[in-house]
Structure 1
């Protein structure tokens, strides 16, 4: 079996630290030996399904120890994990099932109803026993006790995660087993993680940043303490009671944790165990940094910048946070970053260009989306005006990120904008096209609509929907309909009616969103 796979970490941890707590979730605990045993039992059952190698298995559930077991069990087979965030609506799940041909779904009792609603005809496995015809983890733990072995190839597909791509439809990015190991290794290195760390499992496991918390814990034989954020008070209790030392967050989590009466926030003394805080998935504001410094006095804060097409590009050293708080930092180990203009020449300091990612952590491409893959994954020949390619093979792949950035005279990078009009909110990338499509399909009274974003420091970008029709509709009716079909983070915060919408002069079929955005800012913000 390859040394470049998560399975080796599970096996090695069982040998070196069998009695140490691997997972904590409230009062539930699982040692590395118990985790290894349960993962083997589920993996053995999955292998007996006798699906073709590379078959996709979805995990669609709320957070819990069984969810982690499911993830690791799939990665202990020759199948491919497809995480399905609990925030997705049934029709979105149905799209992903169809797009990558999911053959089996592992779920909980709550999400089972959503799966039954879409009439999924593949295998379904539930954590808890619900009825006699549906296999469950409870039953598998009782009856599957045979030894389990597997042979995983590091270059095989391991995970397909879905986010919203250029076409407006969710695109799945294909991640290898080697990618997962490399990501755990590099994060453990620059964060200086160790065996004594207790890592918060607050992030959802639908994308690589969240999944990486599981793999870093395994890599360092640390403990992962799971938590579902509901209220700030519960979150701080999780930090204190679980004795968390490493706290991975998204900017929206920082906003939420301090969305509380100041008198109800814990003292710095109670939060002194936190030594590392990380943030990715959006911009960090000055207020967020000030709050972190005030309440987590012993913590080093790492701001990071990742890609859909590669695990991570940059991180900002904590020592630079006050010196250049708006910077996304420098390249992580094993990565080279370049900023090029439209003629593929390297940009001088302070000149904006497109970020090109070369080196480690590059994923395999987009599933079933050749055009999008070709837009993002390029031959290193794109850098021929920047680096000396003499004698080098030009089939090396780099990522043309679509991120427009500049770097300063000391080599620190600064994010400026996206090439496309994707909206980034609450740590998620949202396609305006998908929201517009739902409006067009589901709300017949609306004739035309446009979706765009405005800046909001709390959540990075706020979604605005402007529409036209014969009559103005009650905004609550529109929201009611949208909530049936879209994830919560995709719901517009502002809905505006106009008798007519401006069109682009050169193309009367397209709404002029720039004009709408300017009008909105002038009317509602200025």
Structure 2
């Protein structure tokens, strides 16, 4: 496929980037820490830290991992917390120690957490107290040797931090009982690290930076191996796409999506750190009234989110009254941005809501709408610099211009493969191309449009939900004979999970099944609808046909 999109690139956007511009993420961190030392790097719950403070704290935490815990280059370190000031400190600390970061969704059930910790062979975990009970349930079965425990208010100062921690524990009762006797507190870890010497490891682009977990069509969560070179390349690609409109040391980005998600990790945390920007961390974006109150305090220049987040803000009282005079970048990803939401966003904020497309396997950016696009066009934009895309039919032949085909991606941001899963890797990485499983078409200017998903993946508020995983959990209930999970349209979340069930025991109820799912699945994966059937449609070899159920 000819790179026709290059002709549509705005002025200043390069056709290619240098994936080896920095030898590793560590070079980018040190450059920003030194260049922007006095600038505020992160704000959370009214408390801020500068780049200089971030550098000192992350260095102390890195020293603790190296000297205090004896972790070596390449050891996996899990981080399990929402957006708090501690997150960037431990994230940078782990990477600066030469460790591989394993981001963990704090809402995971014990079953999901156990799989990820065993699969990644994580030696240490930094976890917020609110979710310590989940770790307690699986500790005997996982390889974790070291636990660093933090509290919500640990970086908010003595008075405010103490109040927040008391309210969280005793007023809101958000901390279920747990038992982690060998855990060390985050504050003690940093304090001990302050008395130790940090030694910068010899990290290269080939070393693993992240094991970023994604679901799979088999229902098994897989660790995408993202190297430092993958991440540096994607940061250079992001810079190539939006760099012409960013002012180093002057940007202020709203980070409501969780940093454990690859979108916010790259687009917010790492990109704006590279530019010396300020990240406003929102711990609980579902509390829209308080979210809007936070936004009112700061003159933000950029915001990222998923369609549901933008829609929620538009429908929250007071949002339309905010000052948007400095807003220059509103970026939607994770799920399709809906045209009514994009048009209303532009009307209210006077800022275009541009859409991008990415995959965990691509660190994640693949395409993004150009910054000079006048209005929403329904596309996922143009391929990023140094990114090539092919569209093929079921026979592996490139489709004609304008026709739909499976999207294949090639570029320096594409992962090494899935950890310990050779067969799964070989299914998606062939002859240097990543097979995305997404069906797309390209117009004459080089804009790409997602038509459908080849996979049966369900997209709930930007999070991947895989039917096989849902079906496996539902089938654990002894009253279930057969089950099929599909995604159905949902105004609030884009899609919601619906299950079709054939009963083995006629006493089975939908309430019973949903309660069962809540015990074993993260909230967004739990089915919203249950429909009982006497039989499910199948192929001639007995495979259940989900597609026939999708429109029912």
Q: Give 1:318 shift.
A: 4.9
How do 1:474-513 and structure 2 match up within 5 A?
Answer: 474-498=509-533, 500-508=534-542, 510-513=543-546
From 13, 16, 20, give the equivalent of 2:32. Answer: 13
- Matches of 2:371 and 2:72 in 1, distance apart? 47
Contact 2:296 2:322 survives alignment (8 Å): no
Matched, 1:246 2:302: yes
Contact 1:197 1:245 survives alignment (8 Å): yes
Per-residue deviation, residues 49-83 of structure 1 (Å, max 9, x unmatched): 22343121100122201121111111102211000
- Matches of 1:487 and 1:309 in 2, distance apart? 22
Contact 1:2 1:153 survives alignment (8 Å): no
Q: Give 1:353 shift.
A: 1.1
Matched, 1:142 2:194: no
Describe the SS at the equivalent of 2:400: coil
- Matches of 1:516 and 1:249 in 2, distance apart? 30
From 79, 85, 108, give the equivalent of 1:88. Answer: 108
From 260, 263, 267, give the equivalent of 1:209. Answer: 263
Per-residue deviation, residues 437-477 of structure 1 (Å, max 9, x unmatched): 11111x22222211112233542322111112132533222
Backbone CA RMSD of aligned residues: 2.2
Q: 1:458 to 1:109 in 2, by over 3 A?
A: closer
- Matches of 2:32 and 2:136 in 1, distance apart? 37
Normalising by the residue count of structure 2, what TM-score does the alignment of the two structures yield? 0.85
Describe the SS at the equivalent of 2:78: strand
The more displaced of 20-29 and 7-16 is 7-16
- Matches of 1:100 and 1:131 in 2, distance apart? 21
Q: Give 1:115 shift.
A: 0.8
Describe the SS at the equivalent of 2:130: helix
- Matches of 1:430 and 1:467 in 2, distance apart? 18
Contact 1:304 1:316 survives alignment (8 Å): yes
Q: 1:348 to 1:15 in 2, by over 3 A?
A: same
Contact 1:467 1:497 survives alignment (8 Å): yes
Contact 1:22 1:221 survives alignment (8 Å): yes
Contact 2:414 2:434 survives alignment (8 Å): yes
Q: Give 1:420 shift.
A: 1.9
Matched, 1:258 2:278: no
Would you say how many aligned residue pairs link Structure 1 and Structure 2?
Answer: 494
From 419, 422, 428, give the equivalent of 1:370. Answer: 422
Matched, 1:63 2:83: yes
Per-residue deviation, residues 101-129 of structure 1 (Å, max 9, x unmatched): 11111111112221111124521111259
Contact 1:423 1:431 survives alignment (8 Å): yes
Matched, 1:184 2:243: no
Describe the SS at the equivalent of 2:213: strand
Contact 1:156 1:176 survives alignment (8 Å): yes
Q: Give 1:156 shift.
A: 0.2
Q: Paired residue for 2:125?
A: 105
Q: Give 1:137 shift.
A: 2.0
Per-residue deviation, residues 348-401 of structure 1 (Å, max 9, x unmatched): 22211111212231111111111111111121xxxxxxxxxxxxxxxxx22122
Normalising by the residue count of structure 1, what TM-score does the alignment of the two structures yield? 0.89
Instruction: Extract unaligned runs of 5+ from structure 1.
Output: 380-396, 521-526
Contact 1:162 1:207 survives alignment (8 Å): no
Higher relative contact order (CA 8 A, sep 6+): 2
The more displaced of 242-251 and 128-137 is 128-137
The more displaced of 361-370 and 127-136 is 127-136
Describe the SS at the equivalent of 1:466: strand
- Matches of 1:87 and 1:184 in 2, distance apart? 28
Q: Paired residue for 1:451?
A: 485
- Matches of 1:102 and 1:68 in 2, distance apart? 19
Contact 2:486 2:497 survives alignment (8 Å): yes
Q: Paired residue for 2:472?
A: 437
How do 1:323-334 and structure 2 match up within 5 A?
Answer: 325-334=377-386
Matched, 1:305 2:357: yes
Q: Paired residue for 1:23?
A: 42
Q: Give 1:432 shift.
A: 0.7
Per-residue deviation, residues 13-61 of structure 1 (Å, max 9, x unmatched): 2322222111111221111111111101110111122234312110012
Contact 1:185 1:219 survives alignment (8 Å): no
- Matches of 1:190 and 1:328 in 2, distance apart? 13
